[in-house]
Amino acid sequence: MANTILVGAQWGDEGKGKIIDVLTEQADIVVRSQGGANAGHTVIVGDQQYILHLVPSGILRPRKQCVIGNGVVVDPFALVEEIRMLEELGVKVDGKLHLSDAAHLVMPYHRLLDACRETRRRGRKIGTTRRGIGPAYADKAARTGLRVMDLIDEERFPAMLKERIRENNAVLKTFGEKPLSYAKVLADCRAAAERLRPLVTNTVVWLNRQIQRGKNVLFEGAQGTFLDIDHGTYPYVTSSNTTAGGACTGSGVAPNRIDRVVGVTKAYTTRVGEGPFPTESEELGDLLHSMGREFGATTGRPRRCGWFDAVLARHAAMINGMDEIAVTNLDGLDTLERLRICVGYRLHGRKLDHVPANLHDLAACEPIYRELPGWRQSTAGARTWKDLPAGARRYLETIAGLMGAKLRIVSVGPARDQTIFLD
Ligand code: IMP
């Protein structure tokens, strides 16, 4: 398969978990390189549904190695809990999961601060997952973070933690929050360190050695292009680089070791949390929600829904250098009589064919739609390109053409076999 970066082309929740799972078959190693427990990758194997937040979904397949890279922010308690859940379901973790010693930790004060700041924002909420992601990355950038290597250092960790708790308790006080107990957090951290210690390694060196030996690596992106801290709809973004470049910095694998970039996009658009969304459509949201679709995997929140936005998707293809695309949730559109694709924006009477950097401009953009007829039949049973109705094929070809990338995978349902590969 060669070394592949998989990224989301929209605002996250593109159905990456399923595509990662099917691509994992051809990979030896699966790597998470950014984000944290804010992600929620849903994978369905047989009758069992798994929702993974930190552990790469490669863990569900025997003989695959998984890495949580240096760019991830790791909540040690959430990770221990996820490992426990996996083991309870019979999934082997030890010997398969490698945790970067350099990854930063999400600590209890990060979670509290995330929640406090969201509450204080009132009308300007970001709609974060409240998993402490922003405050943890802020500490990393401020060089006041604690890392996995600190957590497992029994001698040095207590003093480092004490200092961090002291400083953060002072901040929490300004929000009217109760102070955290150093003794309690230390005891919890010690217990988590005990479970995680055997998994910790220098993943940068380990990964590069594996690549030298000819192993194939799949980098599973979390969140999506427009949640990227640099390229997304700031400040309504997450705090990491969700785009292809983030896979390299977050793993220590150089760009010239990457062979291809696969972008995952839904056949329509969704977004959780706040921020501009030009093609948002209540009608489409009502339809998808009534089908039981489009509720967040991490928070259970109903996702905002809208028509496929080719302006955004084309921009994502450019930033990520997408060679190929996977289109998911095609079956969500099966019942519609007519479909809309946004092919441009109109901003203050002028036509735009790109995403404006200014958030207020994006919020003021009116979509210019191209309408296509629906296919009005189920695609859930399609297993080859030819099985798809002509209208669905035309819709997919239009999307790929507008994005300027090769259509490689179409997903027509959550199960592994509801996947069409195009050669
Ligand atoms: P945070 O990453 O929890 O700080 O949240 C910041 C923004 O990113 C919010 O709008 C979240 O809803 C969104 N977000 C974070 N992770 C995901 C994800 O995995 N899927 C979709 N949206 C996400």
In one-letter notation, the amino acid at residue 18 is K
- Which residue's alpha carbon is nearest to atom 16 within ligand 1? 38
Cβ of 41 less than 6 Å from ligand 1: no
CA–centroid distance, residue 219 to ligand 1 (Å): 19
Q: Could you tell which of 13, 113, 121, 223 is best to mutate to test the pocket of ligand 1, judged by most ligand atoms within 8 Å of the CB?
A: 223
pLDDT at residue 44, as a whole number = 83
Tell me the C-alpha distance between 263 and 327, whole Å: 9
Cβ of 222 less than 6 Å from ligand 1: yes
Dihedral in degrees, nearest 10, Cα atoms 216, 220, 224, 228: -80
CA–centroid distance, residue 337 to ligand 1 (Å): 32
Atom number, ligand 1, closest to the C-alpha of residue 301: 12
For residues 169 and 163, the answer to whether their CB atoms sit within 8 Å is no
Catalytic residue numbers?
13, 41
pLDDT at residue 124, as a whole number = 83
In the chain, domain spans:
4-100+200-262, 105-196, 264-421
pLDDT at residue 1, as a whole number = 63
pLDDT at residue 40, as a whole number = 84
pLDDT at residue 273, as a whole number = 84
- Give per-residue pLDDT as tens, 301-329: 899 999 999 999 999 999 999 999 999 99
Secondary structure percentages of the chain, helix, strand, coil, to 5 = 40, 20, 40
- Domain 264-421, CATH homologous superfamily name and number: Adenylosuccinate Synthetase, subunit A, domain 3 (3.90.170.10)
Cβ of 245 less than 6 Å from ligand 1: no
Q: Report in angstroms the alpha-carbon separations of 418 from 42, 103, 252, 388.
A: 15, 35, 34, 12
In one-letter notation, the amino acid at residue 233 is T
Q: Could you tell which of 42, 129, 228 is best to mutate to test the pocket of ligand 1, judged by most ligand atoms within 8 Å of the CB?
A: 129
CA–centroid distance, residue 305 to ligand 1 (Å): 15
Cβ of 303 less than 6 Å from ligand 1: no
Tell me the C-alpha distance between 143 and 145, whole Å: 6
Max Cα-Cα span within the chain: 66
For residues 403 and 324, the answer to whether their CB atoms sit within 8 Å is no
Angle (CA) 305-297-2 rounded to 5° is: 95
Cβ of 269 less than 6 Å from ligand 1: no
Atom number, ligand 1, closest to the C-alpha of residue 274: 10
pLDDT at residue 336, as a whole number = 96
- Which residue's alpha carbon is nearest to atom 22 within ligand 1? 12
Alpha carbon 223 to chain centroid distance? 2
- Which residue's alpha carbon is nearest to atom 10 within ligand 1? 273
In one-letter notation, the amino acid at residue 410 is V
Which candidate, 132, 128, 130, 139, places its Cα nearest to that of 167? Answer: 139
DSSP string, 207-264: HHHHHHTT--EEEE--S-GGG-TTTSSTTSS-SS--SHHHHHHTTT--GGG--EEEEE
SS3 state of residue 99: strand
CATH topology of domain 4-100+200-262: Adenylosuccinate Synthetase; Chain A, domain 1 (3.40.440)
Q: Report in angstroms the alpha-carbon separations of 103 from 46, 75, 90, 247, 301.
A: 33, 10, 27, 14, 28
Mean pLDDT by 10 residues, the chain (423 residues): 93 92 93 95 85 93 95 98 95 97 98 95 88 98 98 98 98 97 98 98 98 97 97 95 98 98 98 92 94 84 95 98 97 97 97 93 97 97 98 98 97 94 91
For residues 258 and 1, the answer to whether their CB atoms sit within 8 Å is no
Question: Which architecture characterizes domain 105-196 according to CATH?
Answer: Orthogonal Bundle (1.10)
Atom number, ligand 1, closest to the C-alpha of residue 272: 12
